[in-house]
Amino acid sequence: MARLAVWLFLAPLLPGIINKVKAWVAGRRGPPVLQLYYDLARLWRKGVVVSTLASPGFIAGPAIAWVAVLAAALLLPLGPLGTSLSFRGDVILLIYLLALARFCTAWAALETGSAFEGMGAAREVSYAVLAEAAVITAVLTLSMQSGSVSLSAMLTPSVGPGAVLLAVGLFAVLLAENCRVPFDDPNTHLELTMIHEVMVLDHSGPPFAAVLHGAAMKLLLFSVLLVQAVLPIGELSVAAASGAMIGGVLLVTVAVGFTESLTARVAFRRVPLLLTTAFLLCVFALLIAWKGGAA
């Protein structure tokens, strides 16, 4: 229950923190940290405009994607709170639940028959190929280090020297999967420069609220995964672990904010290069883990 509350109610805080950091770097005051909560409440009350071409899948898509992200989040151990359910191989279920969310978002994007969403969906599913390679390599590294395929066992031991490489690789994947600069700009609404933003262009009202909340949950999920893959949270006491977890997630969020402010979005032809670099970093972390185990 506490876990569910954290995922549902604390997730929308993160985009607010990122926007505040970006505003501070730019010398502005920026929107309030709780802005996303107000937006979600407002959208939940609004009506929906649906294209004449869209099938019922257009409304079901965001719902299914939201439940998939929430289910993946509940599988992830949340520091001292642990996880609702842990079994051998749950990490693979997590990866494929995120894939289910991607399938439904891309499906809903192509429902309206608009060229813009098609563009975004095409880019999203193509870049996901490289992002998946990086994620699988990172998970393999964690599995090799701990000798287990279960998230609660994988994330608790402290990470060896490959921690830095893994951290950078996972951070790049976080930026790619959550449509952050330098892969994608969450602020512009120009179709030619977007991946995720343009896929949800035609959603409105409660489905759009589901989309925004799901995106926030996904950001929190990747941040928690990153923090737990790098810091030995499981070995600290409860109070220290909660402090480390909260501190770590805040650090990751502020880092995302700084990355968004200080770098520019790269041209689309360079995105595969960046993702391949992230993949190679994870491969090096894997090699370190393998050699460490063999020695």
Within 13 A of 102's CA, how many CA atoms are on the CB side? 23
Task: Identify the residue among 14, 18, 21, 135 touching other proteins (CB under 8 A).
Answer: 135
Task: Identify the residue among 34, 38, 42, 88 touching other proteins (CB under 8 A).
Answer: 88
Should residue 254 be labelled a site residue for other proteins when binding is judged by CB under 8 A? Answer: no
Should residue 19 be labelled a site residue for other proteins when binding is judged by CB under 8 A? Answer: no
String marking each residue 94-123 x if it binds other proteins according to CB under 8 A: -xxx-xx-xx--xx--xxxxxxxxxx-xxx
Give, rounded to a whole angstrom, the gap between the first and last alpha carbons of the chain: 42
Should residue 255 be labelled a site residue for other proteins when binding is judged by CB under 8 A? Answer: no
Residues 6+ apart with CB under 8 A from 201: 114, 116, 117, 120, 189, 191
Task: Identify the residue among 4, 34, 53, 267 touching other proteins (CB under 8 A).
Answer: 53
Should residue 4 be labelled a site residue for other proteins when binding is judged by CB under 8 A? Answer: no
What is the crossing angle of helices 205-230 and 238-262, to 10°? 110
As a three-state string, the secondary structure of 218-245 is HHHHHHHHHHHHHCCHHHCCHHHHHHHH
Nearest distance from C-beta of residue 124 to other proteins, angstroms = 9
The Cα–Cα gap between 282 and 114 comes to: 37
Nearest distance from C-beta of residue 153 to other proteins, angstroms = 11
Q: What are phi and psi of 251, to 5 degrees?
A: -60, -45
Should residue 21 be labelled a site residue for other proteins when binding is judged by CB under 8 A? Answer: no
Q: Which is nearer to other proteins, 51 or 158 (CB)?
A: 51
Considering only residues 183 through 202, tell me which ones interact with other proteins, judged by CB under 8 A.
201-202
Count, residues near other proteins per rule CB under 8 A: 77
Answer yes or no: are the C-beta atoms of 129 and 161 closer than 8 Å. Answer: no
The Cα–Cα gap between 7 and 216 comes to: 9
Nearest distance from C-beta of residue 193 to other proteins, angstroms = 15
The Cα–Cα gap between 179 and 175 comes to: 6
Nearest distance from C-beta of residue 113 to other proteins, angstroms = 3
Q: Which is nearer to other proteins, 21 or 166 (CB)?
A: 166
